[in-house]
Amino acid sequence: MNTEPAPAEIGETPTSYDVSAVETKWLPVWEELDPFRADDASPKERKYALTMFPYPSGDLHMGHAEVFALHDVIARYWRFRGFEVLNPMGWDSFGLPAENAAIRNDEHPATYTYANIETQAASMKKYGLAFDWSRRLHTSDPEYYRWTQWLFLKFREQGLAYRKNSPVNWCPQDQTVLANEQVLADGTCERCGAEVTKRELTQWYFRTTAYAQELYACLDELQDTWIGKVVNAQRNWVGRSEGAHVRFRIEGREEPVTVYTTRPDTLYGATFMVVAADAPLAAELAELGGPERVEALSAYVEEIRKASDIDRLATDRTKTGIDLGVTATNPVSGEQVPVWAADYVLADYGTGAIMAVPAHDQRDLDFARKFDLPVRRVVDTGEPNPEETYEATTGNGTYVSSGPLDGLTDKTQGISTIIERLEADGTGEGTVNFRLRDWLLSRQRYWGAPIPIIHCPVDGEVPVPEDQLPVELPELRGADLKPKGTSPLGAATEWVEVACPTCGGPARRDSDTMDTFVDSSWYFLRFLSPHDHTQAFSSEQAAAWGPVDLYIGGDEHAVLHLLYARFFTKVLRDSGLLTWDEPFSAYLSQGKVINNGRKMSKSLGNGVDLGKQLDEFGVDAVRLTLVFASPPEDNIDWADMSPAGSLKFLQRAWRLSGDVASAPGVDVSTGERSLRSVIHRTVRDAEELVESHRFNVLIARTMELVNATRKAIDGVGTGGCGPEDPAVREAVETVAILLSMVTPYVAEEMWERLGHRPTVAHAAWPIVDPELLVEDSVTAVVQIQGKVKARLEVSPAITAADLESLALADDTVVAAIAGRPVRKVIVREPKLVNVVV
RNA sequence: GCCCCGGUAGUCCAACGGCAGAGACAAUGGUCUCAAACACCAUCCAGUGUGGGUUCGAAUCCCACCCGGGGUACCA
């Protein structure tokens, strides 16, 4: 600690406080008083404040420090404003790092996990956060994952959890499958960075697609209370599009092939059809084409399987594909078109088959060019003809060569005309399509919640009976956990081999564990009744507390965690367990803490250690710096920040508390008006600023109040009222209360020096006196042509007419008008007059 | 490519369509000191990315473009 306490000379007021002494002094007092425990029986109006619970890897870092500091402002503020606040904390404690550490150190993952949890818990306590610690939970506790498993079984009963065989993302490094959401845009694993490959495996899925429409539609309600970019990201991820299914009859095949298109109006321009090469449909059609087509297809599929996702994802890659040797019939024109298989058509989007309209889709045009297929323009947009330029046109235009559409110029009308025709003929219909896929939840790893299913050769998939939950993890450690391509649980013979609950015969447990995102999809519900051994969560408490009033977290979870939690909420609502539609009424994401323009990382060597910052400047100064730095959602570059400056300010604020010369409880209403006016304006602004999450401005306003108070104390003779004035006490108490939301230690210390008993968290929020917000006089500006020419001191109650005549009589105004005729006068009393000449 | 968000003093950031500055960092000068650090006092600093438009009046609203950040990407 570099803040030396001032030498305590007898009779002299110290000029600074000892940061570390204050921290050790108040921490036990708060533990004792426990002011933030939420009362389920409270008659008060409730608020549920939630911040994303951490994964226990090592100690807390700067990112945690920021989000917790921001979150704490809201939680403490609501409490001050008379709400009963639920503000819980726990750990998302299943996950790979613990498992990898266990392999490295030949130990059990729980050892690493729970040691880190204790480290983080101690740091959080020292960090002075307003959590209700009685509700602490860890998702890796059997008492928690028992209910994760129970929820899985409920979902399965409703057909929302199922198993299917499908090509899945496989991370060769972590030796496990990944959800689509866990594969980055460049085709690498979001966790370890390895290049993701594909494998054909039977895996468990949650049917998120069943809720695609609602997950999309409800975003409208969240538009104003969720941070915009997250709503946007969710919208993109769910990916709703409107279009049509169109059925093409295939020569020699009974079933027609259905394609999905968003441009049915270009149907007359379809010159070939393409099916996803890796879909079963392609194989079927190849058989129609003959043995050499089958062979060609399988060679082609082999080739594309070998290509990495990175290559696949390169958009400028040349198109590849093969002719399947079959023809399809265009349902409106009767035209015969060839059918191709290619990898630019995705098996799991739409129907896995498209009608190719090269003139009006660049991908199709590239393909047509490569394989010398015909291009036919059917919309004349006025741009050069794509048949010649090889630049597809996608805009509005006049339909040509399009039968009944010819001459039409409106795309919307063109689309609806074709859809009507298709529907009348029974060859297609309008439809809505989503990009969202089902959520792959199986993981071939150990440290997660086991999937509570038993596979019996006689009875098939049998759920573990509820009274046998939880299915606890067997004790495995070290080398037992090494990735081998199958789950480590599969090798735990004694654990895997069980009697079938239905027939009693030999059977095997499902040896996969659930994606840890399952654990975090419902933790906000478990906080409502964390010690209840009879149910996952209390629906009654959920109705009373929920939904979460404000959720704060990082935007790395903008699609994953938030989407999954929303999905869980909707399923549980439809199961009758919840009454609300969305889990988080408002969502705020904090920016990252970076250093010197770069993300902090070991390889760059620019990490900032939170512990060191706390040791050097103290908890309060670090919290203040993070809150003051910028609006919450902006990144903070630590290199631009000055925790030393923050500490300087806190010392100045603290010093005020030693200068107050009136007694506690003095009648502040007799205090000096101008200072009181600043106090009450500050409080009014503070309310608005906290509610609109402009915490950085809140700090600025508090600094302003500190400055004004200092002047009032010292400035006797120059307008200051001196330390005895009751307004000074009111000001300093207000500073302590405002600061307690951000810097609880120094605020508590000030509160004590002001002669109050702890804790400042119990202080009454100042009531704003509207009388004190009225100003004695205001400065009105007079503009000529919008440029300021003069200022007038006027009464705030002045009438428009009076202000106008006052302004027009002003010498500088008269001079500025210079005799020109006044054409118009705009008056916004009492602040502004604009003269137009 | 498409979709979001942003661009204001050297830096971080404020500013209901109405005086561009609330607050801070840095810098400079001073007080204090044997000297320095700390502390305190004072000073300095931009016309709001560019170009149009709307308006009596634009940092703020609209359009186009440039730059930065993020999301997404053969999604038919």
Is residue A315 scored above 70 in pLDDT?
no
Q: What is the pLDDT of residues A558-589, one digit of tens each?
A: 888 999 999 999 999 999 999 999 999 999 99
Distance in angstroms: CA A803, C1' B46:
32
Alpha carbon distance A361, A271 (integer Å): 12
A552 in Cβ contact with A52 (< 8 Å): yes
Alpha carbon distance A402, A266 (integer Å): 8
Ramachandran class of A51: left when φ > 0, alpha when ψ lies in -120 to 50, beta otherwise: beta
Residue at token pair 């002075």: A128
Distance in angstroms: CA A773, C1' B25:
32
Q: What is the pLDDT of residues A22-52, one digit of tens each?
A: 999 999 999 999 999 999 999 999 999 999 9
A786 touches strand B (CB under 7 A): yes
Q: What is the pLDDT of residues A113-157, one digit of tens each?
A: 999 999 999 999 999 999 999 999 999 999 999 999 999 999 999
DSSP assigned state of A90: -
Alpha carbon distance A50, A584 (integer Å): 9
- pLDDT at residue number A448: 95
Q: What is the pLDDT of residues A493-534, one digit of tens each?
A: 899 999 999 999 999 999 999 999 999 999 999 999 999 999
Ramachandran class of A270: left when φ > 0, alpha when ψ lies in -120 to 50, beta otherwise: beta
Q: Of A572, A590, A588, A465, whose CA–CA distance to A528 is shortest? A: A572
Distance in angstroms: CA A826, C1' B18:
10
Q: Provide, rounded to the nearest whole percent, the portion of chain A with pLDDT above 70.
A: 96
A381 touches strand B (CB under 7 A): no
Nucleic strand B contact set for A 694-753 (CB, < 7 Å): 694, 696-697, 699-701, 703-704, 707, 710
Residue at token pair 């609602």: A214
Alpha carbon distance A466, A797 (integer Å): 72
The token pair that represents A94 in the structure block = 């299943």
A357 in Cβ contact with A291 (< 8 Å): no
Average pLDDT over residues A206-217: 94
A834 touches strand B (CB under 7 A): yes
Alpha carbon distance A783, A827 (integer Å): 10
DSSP alpha helix (H) spans, A587-694: 610-628, 643-659, 673-691
A810 in Cβ contact with A784 (< 8 Å): no
Nucleic strand B contact set for A 554-593 (CB, < 7 Å): 555, 558-559
- pLDDT at residue number A7: 40
A657 in Cβ contact with A754 (< 8 Å): yes
A237 touches strand B (CB under 7 A): yes
Classify strands A506-509 and A453-456 as parallel, antiparallel or unpaired.
antiparallel
A261 touches strand B (CB under 7 A): yes
Query: Which nucleotides of strand B lie within 7 A of protein CB?
Result: 3-5, 11-16, 18-20, 22-26, 38-41, 56-58, 69-76
Is residue A743 scored above 90 in pLDDT?
yes
A802 touches strand B (CB under 7 A): no
Sign of the C-alpha dihedral computed for residues A297, A300, A304 and A305 taken in this order = positive
Distance in angstroms: CA A804, C1' B17:
21
Alpha carbon distance A293, A308 (integer Å): 24
Query: Average pLDDT, whole number, for chain A?
Result: 90
Classify strands A336-342 and A272-276 as parallel, antiparallel or unpaired.
parallel
The token pair that represents A601 in the structure block = 């990382």
Is residue A10 scored above 70 in pLDDT?
no
Number of Cβ within a 10 Å radius of residue A2:
9
Alpha carbon distance A358, A391 (integer Å): 9
A310 touches strand B (CB under 7 A): no
Band (A226; pLDDT cuts 50, 70, 90): very high
Nucleic strand B contact set for A 211-230 (CB, < 7 Å): 228-229
- Nucleotide with C1' nearest the A262 CA: B76
Alpha carbon distance A733, A819 (integer Å): 56
For A65, the enclosing helix (H) or strand (E) is helix A62-80
Q: What is the pLDDT of residues A421-475, one digit of tens each?
A: 999 999 999 999 999 999 989 888 899 999 999 999 999 999 999 999 999 999 9
Q: Of A831, A823, A820, whose CA–CA distance to A791 is shortest? A: A831
Q: What is the pLDDT of residues A698-730, one digit of tens each?
A: 999 999 999 999 999 987 777 788 889 999 999
Cα-based angle A520, A526, A531 (whole degrees, multiple of 5): 135
- pLDDT at residue number A654: 93
- Nucleotide with C1' nearest the A702 CA: B23
A241 touches strand B (CB under 7 A): yes
The token pair that represents A620 in the structure block = 């309060």
Residue type, A490: G
- pLDDT at residue number A8: 38
A240 touches strand B (CB under 7 A): no
Q: Of A39, A40, A139, A20, whose CA–CA distance to A89 is shortest? A: A139
Number of Cβ within a 10 Å radius of residue A189:
20
Distance in angstroms: CA A194, C1' B36:
55
Measuring alpha carbon to C1', the residue closest to nucleotide B40 is A652
**DSSP code per residue over A359-398:** GG-HHHHHHHHHHT------EE-SSPPHHHH-----S--E
Nucleic strand B contact set for A 684-703 (CB, < 7 Å): 694, 696-697, 699-701, 703
- Nucleotide with C1' nearest the A703 CA: B23
Distance in angstroms: CA A636, C1' B45:
23
Residue A435, CA distances (Å) to A9, A144, A803 in order: 72, 33, 61
Average pLDDT over residues A413-421: 94
- pLDDT at residue number A308: 55
- pLDDT at residue number A171: 81
- Nucleotide with C1' nearest the A259 CA: B76
Q: What is the pLDDT of residues A640-691, one digit of tens each?
A: 899 999 999 999 999 999 999 999 999 999 999 999 999 999 999 999 999 9
- The CA R_g of chain A, rounded to the nearest whole Å, is 34
A630 touches strand B (CB under 7 A): yes
A738 in Cβ contact with A702 (< 8 Å): yes
Alpha carbon distance A237, A233 (integer Å): 6
CB crowding A745-759: b at 16 or more within 10 Å, else e: bbbbbbbbbbebebb
* Main-chain phi, psi angles of A173, to 5 degrees: -75, -55
Alpha carbon distance A288, A425 (integer Å): 26
Average pLDDT over residues A207-215: 94
A619 in Cβ contact with A610 (< 8 Å): no
Residue at token pair 């509570």: A452
- pLDDT at residue number A477: 87
A635 touches strand B (CB under 7 A): yes
CB crowding A16-30: b at 16 or more within 10 Å, else e: bbbbeebbeebeeeb
Is residue A318 scored above 90 in pLDDT?
no
Q: Of A341, A344, A346, A319, whose CA–CA distance to A328 is shortest? A: A341
A354 in Cβ contact with A345 (< 8 Å): yes
- Nucleotide with C1' nearest the A241 CA: B75
A175-179, A286-290, A745-749: lowest mean pLDDT where?
A: A175-179
- Nucleotide with C1' nearest the A3 CA: B38
A832 touches strand B (CB under 7 A): yes
For A356, the enclosing helix (H) or strand (E) is strand A353-356
Q: What is the pLDDT of residues A479-489, one digit of tens each?
A: 888 877 678 89
Q: Of A325, A278, A276, A326, whose CA–CA distance to A301 is shortest? A: A278
Sequence-distant (≥ 6) Cβ neighbours of residue A142 within 8 angstroms: A470, A472
- Nucleotide with C1' nearest the A706 CA: B23
Alpha carbon distance A657, A160 (integer Å): 60
DSSP assigned state of A740: H
Distance in angstroms: CA A555, C1' B70:
10
* Main-chain phi, psi angles of A24, to 5 degrees: -70, -25
Residue type, A679: I
A777 touches strand B (CB under 7 A): no
Distance in angstroms: CA A697, C1' B14:
7
Alpha carbon distance A216, A231 (integer Å): 10
Sequence-distant (≥ 6) Cβ neighbours of residue A737 within 8 angstroms: A80, A747, A760, A763, A765, A766
Q: What is the pLDDT of residues A188-204, one digit of tens each?
A: 777 777 777 777 788 99
Q: Provide, rounded to the nearest whole percent, the portion of chain A with pLDDT above 90.
A: 69
Is residue A2 scored above 60 in pLDDT?
no
A319 in Cβ contact with A342 (< 8 Å): yes
A46-55, A326-335, A593-602: lowest mean pLDDT where?
A: A593-602
DSSP assigned state of A292: H
- pLDDT at residue number A312: 55
Distance in angstroms: CA A239, C1' B3:
11
Residue type, A773: L
Q: What is the pLDDT of residues A355-383, one digit of tens each?
A: 999 999 999 999 999 999 999 999 998 88
